[in-house]
Structures are given as C-alpha cells and as structure tokens.
C-alpha cells in the first residue's frame, strides 16, 4: 500500500465483510446499534450492582457482582469497536441515554424479587431484540453483538432464586406476573421512541439496495418471536405472561 | 506420598513459606486479614458503582465502572486464596461486615465531590493500614495482599477531578477538608472496634514465639506513618488535613 492510501479506520470490517461500511447509512446504523447496546450494558452493570443491595446474603451480592463485572467487560469491547470505526463511543451512546434512563426510572424494583425478574426478563428482552437486528449485519458486527449479549449467568441465577421464592410464598406469583407485564410494556414504549428518532437504525431493518430488509409482515413475525420468548421466560419462572 | 498422608490444604503456602501455617493462631489471623480485605473491596466495588450515579458525565461513570471492575477482580482472587486455605470465604468475611457496613452508613457522600474524596482518602487509608500489617506476613500472603490493594486508578482520577473542582469553586475546600477529617475519624472508630473483637488479628501485630511483633512504641510509629500519608493525600488535593 502506497503512502497516498492511508489505512481506512474500518479496514478490519471491510476486509471481513466487503464493502458494507462504504455505505454511510449502514455505518451510521452499526454505530447506533453498538452505541445503544453499550449504554444498555453500562446501565445493566450499574443496576445489577445497585439491586445487589437488596440481596438477602453476601453470597448473592458476590454473584451479582460477578455478573455485573462481565457486563462491564462487554462495554469495554463495544467501545473498542466503536473507536475502530472512527467514532467516539460516548457520542455513539449519547442519543440513547434518555430512553434507557427513562426505562430504568420507570421500572425501579421495589424489592429483591422484582430486581431479579427485571434482570432476567429485561435483559432477555433486550438481547432477543438486538439478536434479531444482528441477523441483518455483516458477520464481524454480528459476532460482536452476539458475544456482548451473552448471558452472564443472570438467567440461571434469577430462575433458581425466583422459583424457590414463589414456591415458599405463592402470593408472590400474582405480583411478579404483573411486574413482568409492566417491564414488557415499558420496554416497548422506549424501543418505539428510539425507532422513531433514529432513522439509520430503522432503515437497517427496512434494508438497502444491496441488503435484504424486512417488510411489515416480517417485522410482525419478529415481534411475535420476541413476545413468544418473553412468555417462555415468564413460564420458566412459573408465572403467567 | 502414601495414601495415608493426604495433601494438606495449605500445602502451597507451606511450600512457599515453611511452617508458618502450622501455627493455628497465625492461620486464623491470615484468614481474618484476607476476609476483612475481601469484604472491604466488595464494599468498595459496590460504593464506586453507587457513587458513579452522582458523576457529571457518562465518561466519568465508565471510568468509575472500570475501577470498580478491577476491585471486584481482587475479591475473586482473595476468595480463591481463602478456599486454598480450606476456609469458606463468606465465613471469613462475616465477622467484618458490621464494621465496614457501619463505616459506609456513617460516611454516605452527599455529592459527587464527597464521593471522590471518600474513594481517594478512604481507600488510601485502608490500603496503608493493610500494607503495614502485610509486612508481618509470609511472603505469599504479603504479595497477595499488596496486589489486592493496588490502586485501580482512583487516586489519579480523584485528584484530577477534585483539584479542578476546588480551583473553580474555592469554597469547596473548607467543606471537603472537614469531610476528610470525618472519614479519618470514622475509619479509626471502626478499626478499633475490629481490633477489639478479633484477637488473632491483634495478636499478629504483637508477634509470636517465632515471629517478630510490634511493641507499643512501634504501633505508635505505625499510626504516625498512616496519619502522615493521610495528611499528604489531603495536601495533594490542596486541602488542609
């Protein structure tokens, strides 16, 4: 390579996936997606540690801390990738802080059990949604997104504690089932808000000249899949969805 | 080795440091020390993430998160070592939770700047104290203790932010100087409480048949060194001690 041809910042991605990053609209959508996931994981990290205060034992606090530290590791890797793409990770996260902060402000758990349901159901919903989007991405970005959404053990931890608690006090089931529906409703509200404001991210789902997209029927099927998985998670807890 | 001679759980330590762990009093003191440091770091981890909520920018929250994750890594290593010594890490931490929780309950920062002073001055004080004790330990334990107390960047971070803030609003200096004295007082109160309750830990400083200890004059000099370092930290912030 001659000196007049500087290495483009996106070279890694281009080498792996051809010319996708030459489309500025696509690049913007990927930056948006990594930005929203990074801020979501930063928030999840902080919330896990915060909710650990409600834990009944020091052992539970240490388990929550271990899961939180893994989430923070994901933030670090997403930031590295954003820098490789020539973007300040804090600029990439900025458009999504309001929606994610509102989600958390509207769903502050009142006790340890609500916190566990939120960690399990909330993180599960977010992961399902981002995984659906990742299917439309270049393989490098897709792999990073999927690795970032890997369950750090929350699911097992929450199911184990919640099934036992509901077994000991069956009245918990009604309250936590309502709480699960509220989490789903609030997540949809904030997701719609983000979709309405971020054209590039929405356009990603609609496709481009060289990329397949989703028609309305396909988007409908996607939401059905996400809802089905939510119902399955609630059922795993022994709760009505 | 014949089957009638099971590998002792402390073999690694014995191999490194001779027979020190055959003294049950010494082993108990080491378990106490690793237990109190582990619970202190677990609390520091949780407090750093908690205080990050007061941070003025998302960038500051990410820096706090990175420091907190490093602290959590120390907890993991201290727990591994306690298990090697044949002790449940949660049993080892249990005698110290009340004192450390009280320290934090009595020193909840009212704002971002108080949180920074606490991270800097509080962690510094604890690290100085444990480093003094580590000088009387076998080299394996000493190395682990010193590695666990390594500053995860808090000091630089806090000094940088606080000097700028005090420069912009000199009235902060008076309030934060008082706050530093309160932190020192509360730390001494809780340390005395622990020393009064944990004979093995106190006996460690007094020495044993084969180990050198501290007479009262030496303990006095130790506290003078710790106080001097505290004053130096306050001076680094531009504050009166």
Q: What is the pLDDT of residues A154-203, one digit of tens each?
A: 888 999 999 999 999 999 999 999 999 999 999 988 888 887 888 877 77
Instruction: State the pLDDT at residue A59.
Output: 95
Instruction: State the pLDDT at residue B231.
Output: 93
3-state secondary structure A42-57: HHHHHHHHHHHHHCCC
Q: Report residue A95's pLDDT band, with 50, 70 and 90 as the boundaries.
A: very high
Instruction: State the pLDDT at residue A137.
Output: 87
Q: ipTM score here?
A: 0.80
Cα(B204)–Cα(A193) distance, integer angstroms = 61
- Does B72 contact A73 at a Cβ distance shorter than 8 Å? no
Residue B197 half-sphere exposure toward CB, CA atoms < 13 A: 14
Q: Do A85 and A30 contact (CB within 8 A), yes or no?
A: yes
From chain A, the residues in CB contact with B50 under 8 A are 49-50
Q: Do A183 and A113 contact (CB within 8 A), yes or no?
A: no
Instruction: State the pLDDT at residue A117.
Output: 94
Instruction: State the pLDDT at residue B211.
Output: 67
Q: How many angstroms separate the CA of residue A70 from the nearest CA in chain B?
A: 9
- Does B58 contact A68 at a Cβ distance shorter than 8 Å? no
Question: For each of chain B's 241 residues, which pLDDT tens digit applies?
Answer: 444 444 344 444 444 455 677 788 888 889 999 999 999 999 999 999 998 989 999 999 999 999 899 899 999 999 999 999 999 999 999 999 999 999 999 999 999 999 999 989 988 988 998 888 888 888 999 999 999 988 878 888 999 999 999 999 999 999 999 999 999 999 988 888 887 888 877 777 777 666 667 777 887 888 899 999 999 999 999 888 7
From chain A, the residues in CB contact with B61 under 8 A are 42, 46
Instruction: State the pLDDT at residue B11.
Output: 40
Residue A190 half-sphere exposure toward CB, CA atoms < 13 A: 24
* pTM of the predicted model as reported, rounded to 2 decimal places: 0.84
Cα(A128)–Cα(A137) distance, integer angstroms = 15
Cα(B77)–Cα(B38) distance, integer angstroms = 9
Mean pLDDT, chain A, integer: 86
Report pLDDT digits (tens) over A1-46.
344 444 344 444 444 455 677 788 888 889 999 999 999 999 999 9
From chain A, the residues in CB contact with B46 under 8 A are 49, 52-53, 61, 65
Find the radius of gyration of the CA atoms of chain B: 19
Give the number of A-B residue pairs with CB atoms closer than 8 Å. Answer: 63
Fill in the DSSP letter of residue B39. H
Chain B residue closest to A60 (CA)?
B90
**Residue labelled with tokens 């910042």:** A9
Q: Do A81 and A144 contact (CB within 8 A), yes or no?
A: yes
Q: How many angstroms separate the CA of residue A135 from the nearest CA in chain B?
A: 29
Cα(A150)–Cα(A138) distance, integer angstroms = 19
Sign of the alpha-carbon torsion through A62, B121, B150, B227: negative
Q: Report residue A210's pLDDT band, with 50, 70 and 90 as the boundaries.
A: low
Instruction: Collect all residues from A whose CB is shorter than 8 A from any CB in B.
Output: 39, 42, 45-46, 49-50, 52-53, 57-59, 61-62, 65-66, 68-69, 72-73, 75-76, 79, 90, 93-94, 97
- Identify which has the larger pLDDT, A211 or B140: B140
Instruction: State the pLDDT at residue B91.
Output: 97
From chain B, the residues in CB contact with A52 under 8 A are 46
Measured between CB atoms, which of A46, A53, A58 is closest to B90?
A58
DSSP letters spanning A14-43: HHHHTTGGGSHHHHHHHHHHHHHHHHHHHH
**Residue labelled with tokens 């973007």:** A87
Chain A residue closest to B52 (CA)?
A46
Instruction: State the pLDDT at residue B146.
Output: 92
- Does B65 contact A72 at a Cβ distance shorter than 8 Å? yes
- Does B42 contact A65 at a Cβ distance shorter than 8 Å? yes
With vertex at residue B7, the alpha carbon angle to CA B4 and CA B8, rounded to the nearest 5 degrees, is 115
**Residue labelled with tokens 């130790």:** B222
From chain A, the residues in CB contact with B66 under 8 A are 72, 76
Strands annotated E in B104-161: none
Alpha helices for chain A (secondary structure H): 11-17, 24-51, 58-84, 89-93, 97-106, 112-117, 123-134, 139-148, 154-168, 172-197, 199-206, 216-236
Query: Exposed, middle or buried: residue B132 (CB in 10 Å: 0-12, 13-18, 19+)?
Result: middle
Cα(A84)–Cα(A15) distance, integer angstroms = 13
Instruction: State the pLDDT at residue A75.
Output: 95
Instruction: State the pLDDT at residue A1.
Output: 39
């Amino acid at each position: 390579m001659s000196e007049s041809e500087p290495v483009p910042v996106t070279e890694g991605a281009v080498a792996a996936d051809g010319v996708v990053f030459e489309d500025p609209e696509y690049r913007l959508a990927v930056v948006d997606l990594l930005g929203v996931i990074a801020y979501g994981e930063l928030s999840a990290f902080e919330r896990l540690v915060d909710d650990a205060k409600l834990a009944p034992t020091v052992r539970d606090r240490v388990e929550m801390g271990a899961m939180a530290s893994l989430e923070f590791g994901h933030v670090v890797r997403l930031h590295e990738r954003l820098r490789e793409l020539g973007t300040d990770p804090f600029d990439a996260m900025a458009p999504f802080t309001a929606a994610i902060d509102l989600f958390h402000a509207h769903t502050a758990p009142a006790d340890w059990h609500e916190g566990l349901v939120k960690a399990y159901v909330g993180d599960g919903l977010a992961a399902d949604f981002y995984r659906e989007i990742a299917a439309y991405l270049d393989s490098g970005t897709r792999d990073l997104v999927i690795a970032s959404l890997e369950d750090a053990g929350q699911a097992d931890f929450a199911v184990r504690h919640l099934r036992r608690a509901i077994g000991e006090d069956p009245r918990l089931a009604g309250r936590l089932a309502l709480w699960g529906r509220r989490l789903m409703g609030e997540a949809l509200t904030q997701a719609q808000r983000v979709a309405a404001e971020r054209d590039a991210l929405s356009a990603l789902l609609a496709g481009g000249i060289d990329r397949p997209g989703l028609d309305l029927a396909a988007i409908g099927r996607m939401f059905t899949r996400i809802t089905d998985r939510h119902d399955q998670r609630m059922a795993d807890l022994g709760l009505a969805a």
